[in-house]
């Protein structure tokens, strides 16, 4: 039996959701280029596309908009939990626990799609309530008149977003919404394939996304730019980092062997928003890391990935660095749940193999006879 470390190049399902061309750096949701969706679409419309397989007409879009905007509030038990949890808790742990509590509270008999929409509509509320309560600020209840992205920004910052903030938020969420069989989506499927419930699948996704090799890399990438401090230090920093065997965070990808198209799009928006926020120096450092990093690693097919610029984007939008993976999850939940629904149409228990390399037939010794 062949060992495929990291399951590289192993297909676990057929999908009509997302297609990636890792050589050319192209990404399509349901056949639509990520470049077009980022430019012309918004969170609600792209979520509809990913969940239902087509762009919605006006009525369909309005129906989804209403479901997403009227299900944002949390049960009191979860609000109390968020207010009482320790202020330095990891936001991914808080999110994971809050989704688990939602699962406990859930008594409705709606199908997985309806539950998925409700979970999606509540994640920004969980993140924003925790953000404000850890800073001893009053929580801001959701505003049904605002779009998903605008409301997220509003619940966090206490003011409605400007045009550039609103577009940047929408674009960021669109870019993170799905990415074929990444580690967190696979974790969701493993759980779903046992015919467990959708809350449990989403929790598995959050748990896998948290790690610094996956969704946690956005915070690590920003940390690098802050540590570098000035663009004249970039070359030295990269050399030291690579020579000491550390990875450049926000670089490299299992599928992309060229520039991640999402990073390309994110970079343009980050350039604009950092100017507006007075932190353009961080963009300049990031841009220098991008260029010098490619000189060092590009020949191995290692280029910036989505997490490289998204940390700087989320920072510009007001999020604390430890919250970036949770913001990522607020969008990826659409992809996770779409893949679960797709997989369950043709379910088979996911149960791979391990190649045993230990001993067999060892003699059991009573405790007192062991060395």
Ligand X SMILES: CC(=O)SCCNC(=O)CCNC(=O)[C@H](O)C(C)(C)COP(=O)(O)OP(=O)(O)OC[C@H]1O[C@@H](n2cnc3c(N)ncnc32)[C@H](O)[C@@H]1OP(=O)(O)O
Binding of ligand X by 6 (CB under 6 A): yes
Closer to ligand X by CB, 55 or 242: give it.
242
**CA of residue 351 relative to chain centroid, distance:** 25
Binding of ligand OAA by 310 (CB under 6 A): no
Q: Which is nearest to 71 in space by CA: 139, 120, 133, 129?
A: 120
Among 182, 193, 201, 218, binds ligand OAA (CB under 6 A): 182
Q: Which stretch binds ligand X (CB under 6 A): 99-107, 115-123, 198-206, 297-305?
A: 297-305
- Rounded to a whole number of angstroms, the minimum distance from the CB of residue 37 to ligand X is 17
Per-residue binding string, ligand OAA, 238-257, x by CB under 6 A, is ---------------xxx--
Q: Give the other-Cβ count within 10 Å of 263's Cβ.
A: 24
Does residue 21 have an active-site annotation? Answer: no
Residue 232 backbone class (left: φ over 0; alpha: ψ -120 to 50; beta: rest): alpha
Count Cβ atoms within 10 A of the Cβ of residue 347 and give its class: 0-12 exposed, 13-18 middle, 19 or more buried: middle
- Rounded to a whole number of angstroms, the minimum distance from the CB of residue 238 to ligand X is 9
Binding of ligand X by 213 (CB under 6 A): yes
Give the span between the Cα atoms of 113 and 120, in whole angstroms.
10
- Rounded to a whole number of angstroms, the minimum distance from the CB of residue 159 to ligand OAA is 30
- Rounded to a whole number of angstroms, the minimum distance from the CB of residue 336 to ligand OAA is 10
Q: Give the other-Cβ count within 10 Å of 352's Cβ.
A: 9
- Show the DSSP H helices in 76-162 as ranges: 76-84, 91-105, 112-134, 148-157
Q: Which residues contact 168 (CB under 8 A, 6 or more apart)?
A: 269, 272, 273, 313, 316, 317
Does residue 141 have an active-site annotation? Answer: no
- Rounded to a whole number of angstroms, the minimum distance from the CB of residue 334 to ligand OAA is 12
Q: Which stretch binds ligand X (CB under 6 A): 101-109, 124-132, 189-197, 303-311?
A: 303-311
Site for ligand X (CB under 6 A): how many residues?
19
Binding of ligand X by 123 (CB under 6 A): no
Binding of ligand X by 147 (CB under 6 A): no
State the virtual CA torsion across 307, 148, 67, 130 in degrees, nearest 10.
70
Catalytic residue IDs: 253, 307
* Residues binding ligand OAA (CB under 6 A): 179, 182, 253-255, 305-306
């Amino acid at each position: 039996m062949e060992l495929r470390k990291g399951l590289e190049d192993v297909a676990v399902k057929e999908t009509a959701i997302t297609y990636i061309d890792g050589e050319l750096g192209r990404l399509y949701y349901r056949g639509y280029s990520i470049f077009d969706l980022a430019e012309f679409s918004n969170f609600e419309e792209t979520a509809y596309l990913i969940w239902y397989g087509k762009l919605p007409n006006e009525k369909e879009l309005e129906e989804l908009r209403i479901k997403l905007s009227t299900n944002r509030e949390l049960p009191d038990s979860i609000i109390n939990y968020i207010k009482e949890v320790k202020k330095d808790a990891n936001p991914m742990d808080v999110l994971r626990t809050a989704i688990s509590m939602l699962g406990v509270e859930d008594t409705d008999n709606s199908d997985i799609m309806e539950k998925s929409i409700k979970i999606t509509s509540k994640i920004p509320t969980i993140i924003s309530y925790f953000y404000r309560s850890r800073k001893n600020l009053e929580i801001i209840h959701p505003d049904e008149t605002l779009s998903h992205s605008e409301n997220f920004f509003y619940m966090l910052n206490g003011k409605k977003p400007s045009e550039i903030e609103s577009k940047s938020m929408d674009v960021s969420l669109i870019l993170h919404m799905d990415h074929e069989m990444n580690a967190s989506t696979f974790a969701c499927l493993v759980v779903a394939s046992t015919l467990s419930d959708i809350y449990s699948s989403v929790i598995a996704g959050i748990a896998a996304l948290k790690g610094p090799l996956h969704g946690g890399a956005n915070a690590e990438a920003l940390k690098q730019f802050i540590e570098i401090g000035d663009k004249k230090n970039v070359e030295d920093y990269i050399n030291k980092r690579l020579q000491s065997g550390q990875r450049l965070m926000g670089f490299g990808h299992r599928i992309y062997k060229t520039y991640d198209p999402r990073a390309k799009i994110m970079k343009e928006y980050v350039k604009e928003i950092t100017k507006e926020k007075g932190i353009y120096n961080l963009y300049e450092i990031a841009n220098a890391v991008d260029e010098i990093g490619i000189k060092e690693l590009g020949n191995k097919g290692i280029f910036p990935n989505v997490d490289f610029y998204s940390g700087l984007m989320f920072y510009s939008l007001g999020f604390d660095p430890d919250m970036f993976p949770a913001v990522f999850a607020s969008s990826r939940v659409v992809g996770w749940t779409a893949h679960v629904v797709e997989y369950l149409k043709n379910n088979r228990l996911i149960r791979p193999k391990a190649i045993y390399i230990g001993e067999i037939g060892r003699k059991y010794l009573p405790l007192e006879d062991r060395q």
